[in-house]
Structure 1
Amino acid sequence: IRLLRIQQGRFNDPVHCQISHEHLRQILPPYEAVSYTWADETGDRSKKAVIILDCKRFMVTTNCERALRRIRLEGRSRLVWIDAICINQDSDAERTHQVQLMAQIHARANTVLMYIG
């Protein structure tokens, strides 16, 4: 699976993250799963917000960016699993496979964070 390291920062700073690759069959580093709705309060699910992922601009939904911004810590990085980024959304095969693993991914997380806006 992919895990996302959200770099520390103040609330208004750009969101900087890095991807790491881990194996579910092995001991995983402590991580938190993030649960949220892709659509914002208007129902918009389009990818029009920007984060910096592995030093490149990466488009995400407004709610995804808001969730990452809200859970980011000021004093240290945070390791999370969030479906919109940790699953390759351009690959039908990967999406299908990863969706089958979601219960296990959430169960292995130290915590599941809920972002409700």
Structure 2
Amino acid sequence: PFSVLKLSLVTFPLDKTPPYDAVSYTWGRQVRNKTLYLDDGILKTTRNVSGIAGNRATWEWPNWLWINAVCINRDDLDEQPGKLRLMGDIYRSASRVLAWLDYEEVSLLDLTLISILSHHFW
């Protein structure tokens, strides 16, 4: 049987965040045809964002995650500029920055780059 993944959105001051991962991902097709279930409603989102959230349970610590398409309300034009200005600080403050590649858009070049990046050169 399928279990429903339910997410909580919590706001922290940037200087008082618990450890969190920030996810960088390919935008891919911007069709919002997937649903994330939140404590207080639902959020229509893209396949990539849904995939990130759905796979989150298999990742290791920390429990908090920054995904810009979830954490920034794209429909609130007043909110966007302030959050977008903070993106550099948000990624710098993260415990880890994870790259999510859409499995349908990964090319041979991407796989070669992943192979190169996975080797430590220092």
Distance in 2 (alpha carbons) for counterparts of 1:116 and 1:75:
18
Structure 1 stretches of 4+ with a deviation exceeding 3 A read 73-77
Select the structure with the greater relative contact order (CA < 8 A; seq sep ≥ 6).
1
User: Where do 5+ consecutive residues of structure 1 fail to align?
Assistant: 1-11
Identity %: 28
Aligned 1:1-117 pairs, distance under 5 A: 13-24=3-14, 26-39=15-28, 44-73=29-58, 78-117=63-102
More strand by share: 1
Is the CA contact 1:14–1:51 (under 8 Å) kept in the aligned structure 2?
no
More helix by share: 2
Distance in 1 (alpha carbons) for counterparts of 2:6 and 2:57:
10
Distance in 2 (alpha carbons) for counterparts of 1:101 and 1:90:
18
The count of corresponding residues between Structure 1 and Structure 2 is 101
Q: TM-score, normalised by structure 1?
A: 0.76
Per-residue Cα deviation, 1:20-58 (whole angstroms, up to 9, x for no partner):
01111x32111110111222xxxx211100111115222
Q: Which has the larger radius of gyration?
A: 2
